[in-house]
């Protein structure tokens, strides 16, 4: 997704002081620069493609410079690649910066927020907007606080299972198409496309609005993807995991997520199985692994019988 300086102005209610013709510039990185070294004249490694954030420290040093150096530094600061320069704490913008920004069409903005607070909020906003995105065919449901992504072939019963989970009090995030963003290392956030928000498609009935039918508590706008469950039609020739000792993974963008495969056949209550899978996953993260405990007990029994036979 692309982010422009105008998007940042609207998001944080910033005041545009100068460089009006540059508000359409694209911001390509979530990194923010505080140009202290540049104010001192060191532009060798100037990260011009970042938003430049000027606070009280930078301005107080700038005021100590001779007039000619002030002009030179500000013209270098306003490069052709600089998306915007933000002055925090609603401090007065130096006239030299206004002149340079108008000449090079670099937007100069002001905010009432403190420098570090604005830097943190802007970084979070940009990381969210500029994060790698992919779309996955499936259903994302919040089950006991675990973001469960249900995948499988068309017609296997993903949406019907999600509907049953919603009836049990769990929350729907997205149906059919799940947009997934990698907002940080090992952090995948799933959300619905705007067109499909709150909607669920049930074959034979059509599209239903979950929020209208079950209330606002039945949906949520986004959720971290923690567990993937693949539904597949029961294959009698396939051997399914009966202990849970082997953990399968599925990679989405740059993150590997635990994946379980659940065979579907008449008589199996898939929604209950998914509830148990979510609770069991949470227990494993807390250090309680039933499969490993069973394996340990089995090893003990085998060892005892071996000693008796000996």
- Report whether 55 belongs to an annotated binding site: no
- Report whether 145 belongs to an annotated binding site: no
- What pLDDT does 287 receive? 78
Rounded alpha-carbon distances, angstroms, from residue 39 to 31, 53, 66, 68: 19, 12, 12, 13
Q: What are phi and psi of 257, to 5 degrees?
A: -115, 140
- What pLDDT does 295 receive? 64
Residue 176 appears among annotated catalytic residues: yes
Residue 305 appears among annotated catalytic residues: no
Give me the catalytic one of 73, 158, 198, 223. 158
- Report whether 153 belongs to an annotated binding site: yes
Residue 251 appears among annotated catalytic residues: no
Give me the catalytic one of 6, 7, 76, 176. 176
pLDDT tens track for 97-119: 999 999 999 999 999 999 999 99
* Residue ranges for the chain with pLDDT beneath 70: 1, 240-245, 267, 290-292, 294-295, 298-299, 304-310
What tokens appear for 76 in the block?
């270098």
Give me the catalytic one of 238, 242, 246, 251. 242
Tokens 């067109």 sit on residue: 195
- Report whether 154 belongs to an annotated binding site: yes
- What pLDDT does 159 receive? 93
- Report whether 215 belongs to an annotated binding site: no
- What pLDDT does 184 receive? 82
- Report whether 157 belongs to an annotated binding site: yes
- What pLDDT does 306 receive? 58
In order of their start, the domains of the chain are: 3-130 (3.40.1390.20), 133-294 (3.40.50.300)
Residue 296 appears among annotated catalytic residues: no
Interstrand relation of 32-33 and 51-54 (parallel, antiparallel or unpaired): parallel
- What pLDDT does 307 receive? 59
- Report whether 79 belongs to an annotated binding site: no
Give me the catalytic one of 56, 137, 285, 297. 137
Integer Cα distance of 241 and 71 in angstroms: 70
């Amino acid at each position: 997704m692309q982010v422009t300086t105008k998007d940042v102005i609207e998001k944080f209610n910033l005041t545009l002081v100068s460089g009006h013709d540059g508000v359409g510039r694209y911001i390509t990185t979530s990194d923010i620069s505080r140009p202290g070294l540049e104010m001192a004249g060191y532009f060798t490694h100037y990260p011009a493609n970042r938003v430049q954030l000027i606070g009280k420290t930078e301005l107080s040093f700038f005021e100590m410079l001779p007039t000619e150096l002030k002009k030179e530094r500000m013209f270098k600061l306003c490069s052709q690649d600089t998306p915007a320069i933000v002055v925090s704490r609603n401090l007065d913008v130096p006239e030299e910066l206004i002149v340079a920004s108008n000449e090079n069409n670099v937007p100069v903005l002001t905010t009432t927020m403190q420098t570090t607070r604005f830097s943190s909020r802007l970084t979070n906003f940009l990381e969210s907007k500029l994060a790698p995105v992919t779309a996955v065919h499936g259903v994302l449901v919040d089950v006991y606080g675990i973001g469960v992504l249900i995948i499988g072939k068309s017609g296997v019963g993903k949406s019907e299972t999600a509907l049953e989970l919603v009836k049990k009090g769990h929350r729907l995030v997205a149906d059919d198409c799940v947009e997934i963003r990698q907002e940080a290392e090992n952090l995948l956030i799933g959300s619905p496309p705007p067109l499909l928000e709150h909607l669920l498609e049930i074959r034979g009935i059509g599209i239903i609005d979950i929020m209208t039918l079950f209330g606002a508590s039945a949906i949520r706008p986004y959720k971290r993807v923690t567990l993937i469950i693949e539904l597949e039609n029961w294959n009698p020739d396939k051997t399914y995991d009966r202990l849970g000792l082997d953990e399968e993974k599925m990679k989405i963008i740059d993150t590997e997520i635990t994946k379980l495969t659940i065979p579907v056949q008449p008589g199996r209550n898939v929604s209950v199985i998914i509830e148990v899978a979510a609770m069991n996953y949470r227990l494993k993260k807390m250090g309680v692994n039933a499969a490993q405990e069973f394996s340990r007990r089995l090893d003990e029994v085998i060892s005892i019988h071996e000693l008796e036979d000996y």
